[in-house]
Amino acid sequence: MRRFPQRPVPLHRHVTRGSATRPVSVLCLVTLAAGVLAAQRYFPPGVLDPAAASYSRDLKALHEPPLWELSQRDPKAEAYRFLWLRSSHHPVAVRLIVSSSGSGWIHTRMTSGRGWDQPGRIIHYGVSWLTKRKTQSFLAALESADFWKLPTLADVREVSAGYASQWIVEGVSNGRYQIIGRSSPDLADPVRAIGLLALRLGRLRMRSREVY
């Protein structure tokens, strides 16, 4: 699986002329920021290893929050995310936040990265309100797939040379956390159906050759 070095965190340094203590303050802020980022954990310990580090890196590049941490601190939260990493196309994340009314907000993000190289920078960000009917259609699809009982990982299957993808679906509800990862799932895999539905609800149109 791919591993990448951690990119430095860009910080703005403001120095006031005549202040001898300002550089020390800036250094403290940099150290504190680095500690916060290091403490941020996207997945439970041991889950999806050794790929968890690279998936976390993609989610950070997509400016996505950790859903696992959300499940730990807010038992009332309900949210779902589809992370799509393809060998020849841009990384994509679609996140649905379900409100207490049954409707939701859907966030879509894409970076400029391609394949398994650097994830790049944000090139698309969209957020829109999702009606109760559409939100419930997504939840119904999860229930139909028995989402909360699906195994995190399935048997690895062979894929066509040059075209491979990772489909990762996360869910948070009532303090529960679920994550499922599949490599180039076939048409019968429920994870593929969930991912495609997330793309459609997020209004991300993909050509057929981009879906693999």
pLDDT at 162: 63
For residue 118, what are its two tokens?
């650097």
Coil, strand or helix at 195: helix
Average pLDDT, the chain: 82
Q: How confident is the model at residue 10 (pLDDT cuts 50, 70, 90)?
A: very low
Farthest CA pair distance, the chain: 67
pLDDT at 198 over 60: yes
Judge contact between 80 and 94, C-beta under 8 A.
no
Nearest partner of 43 among 58, 22, 26, judged by Cα: 58
Judge contact between 61 and 93, C-beta under 8 A.
no
pLDDT at 30 over 70: no
Q: What tens digit of pLDDT does each residue of 43-76 get?
A: 999 898 888 999 999 999 999 999 999 999 999 9
